[in-house]
Amino acid sequence: MKINEYKNWLKLVSINGVGPGKLKKLLRQYGNPLNIFKADNKSLSSLNYLTPKNIKNILSVRENEFVSTQLKLLDKYNVRLISIQDEEYPDLLKFIYTPPILLYIKGEILPEDSFSFAIVGTRKATNYGKIQTNKIGFELAKSGFSIVSGLAYGIDSVAHTSALKAGGRTIAVCGTGLDVVYPPTNRKLAENIIRSGALISEFPLESKIEPWNFPTRNRIISGMSRGVLVVEGSKKSGALITSKDGLQQDRDIFALPGNVDSPQSEGPNYLIKLGAKLVTCAKDILEEYEQLTLFSVQVRGSKNNTIPKSSYKMTDDEGKIYDIIQKNGRNITLDSMVESSSFTVSQLSSMLLNMEIKGIVKRAPQNHYLLV
């Protein structure tokens, strides 16, 4: 992304009172930030999801102190921006209800990170929780999954470390600006993650530690992952919030059972009662993604990190999607597919990614999909 594009995206996210959900709709309507800024009152007033105050703030937005300060800080801390329209932006994350429009990033997100899995849990982890996280995270990373977590004390730290030990990739979603490593004792871990994955945040640089930031960032952890494993935590813990976000995003939810008398196992045991898959080893997760992990190994083994074509046959649901695209001249938007089928956005995005891996479809700009 060039400096002028940075400016436009930073201006866009600085609009007062217009959050990610509305910004996503505006981008769908106008295509890019510059076109949004060019829209007049009449055009904006025709959009029923904007309030008069929203419209006033959009029309009055200009390059401001926030934009100029962030541009300087990006250079100072060697941080990049990726927008929801960039190729590097995580595929699955694009299709949650309120995806972050702009991500700050240190490191790289690669095509193989489409095969991501979240491991989350309490900061006050027991030895049992740490040992199991290390075993499961190691095996998942070795099998081709990028491990996503939140860089916190306890389970999160072990999850990231287990992936690095396996020689795999890991992504930390931060609840602060990327110039602030929290907790500070994880500074070395953060540096290692940058070399084998990425640190990402939707919070501007110089954003300090705020309690409400962490529940907000949890939707990103689940949103960019195929599934979520909750290792330890209470019913009110951040890990349970992440699993709730995952359920709303149609993600698979897994839980590690624990001692019924242990407060740290209260959350996972509760999730199992509600229907989460009980996990005692990595195999319990991997058997749910047997075909997917095979593709992941192929991607990681390819020299140019491109997604290889495959001879695998389409599932019945993939066949339905294929027919919809074919009937629409072999080129259709995701929104049109939602209208033409009974699938949700999350279901479609997941199946389309699998079809892209198999070499059946190709994703084009502006959420268009083409038959290969």
Q: List, in sequence order, the alpha helices (H) in 33-165.
A: 33-38, 41-45, 52-60, 65-77, 127-142, 155-165
Residue 357 has pLDDT above 80, yes or no: no
The predicted structure's pLDDT at residue 311: 45
Q: Token pair of 157, please?
A: 């730290």
For residues 238 and 246, what is the distance between their CA atoms, to the nearest angstrom?
12
pLDDT digits (tens, 9 = 90+) for 250-296: 899 999 999 999 999 999 999 999 999 999 999 999 988 875 555 55
The predicted structure's pLDDT at residue 368: 79
- Cβ neighbours, 10 Å, residue 28: 13
DSSP string, 211-253: TTHHHHHHHHHHHTSSEEEE-S--TTSHHHHHHHHHHHTT-EE
Residue 157 has pLDDT above 70, yes or no: yes
For the entire predicted model, the pTM comes to 0.80
pLDDT digits (tens, 9 = 90+) for 241-253: 899 999 888 899 9
For residues 158 and 220, what is the distance between their CA atoms, to the nearest angstrom?
19
* 351 vs 159, residue with greater confidence: 159
pLDDT confidence bin for 309, thresholds 50/70/90: very low
CA-wise closest residue to 226 among 361, 315, 119, 109:
119
CA-wise closest residue to 119 among 222, 247, 195, 250:
222
pLDDT confidence bin for 365, thresholds 50/70/90: low
Report the chain's mean pLDDT, rounded to a whole number: 88
Break the chain down into helix, strand, coil percent, rounded to 5.
50, 15, 35
For tokens 């910004």, the residue is 23
The predicted structure's pLDDT at residue 147: 98
Q: Token pair of 291, please?
A: 């075909």
pLDDT digits (tens, 9 = 90+) for 2-16: 667 789 999 999 999
The predicted structure's pLDDT at residue 310: 45
Name beta bridge partners: 228. Answer: 118, 253
The predicted structure's pLDDT at residue 337: 87
Residues 87-112, mean pLDDT to the nearest whole number = 91
For residues 131 and 111, what is the distance between their CA atoms, to the nearest angstrom?
30
Residues 108-122, mean pLDDT to the nearest whole number = 93
Q: Token pair of 239, please?
A: 């890990």
DSSP string, 171-209: EEE-SS-TTS-SSGGGHHHHHHHHHTEEEEESSPTT---
Return the SS3 of 254.
Answer: strand
Residue 308 has pLDDT above 80, yes or no: no
- Please state the length of the chain: 372
Half-sphere exposure (CA, 13 Å, Cβ side) for 81? 29
Q: Token pair of 112, please?
A: 């193989």
pLDDT confidence bin for 111, thresholds 50/70/90: confident
| Cβ–Cβ under 8 Å, residues 326 and 334 | no
Q: Token pair of 235, please?
A: 């019913």
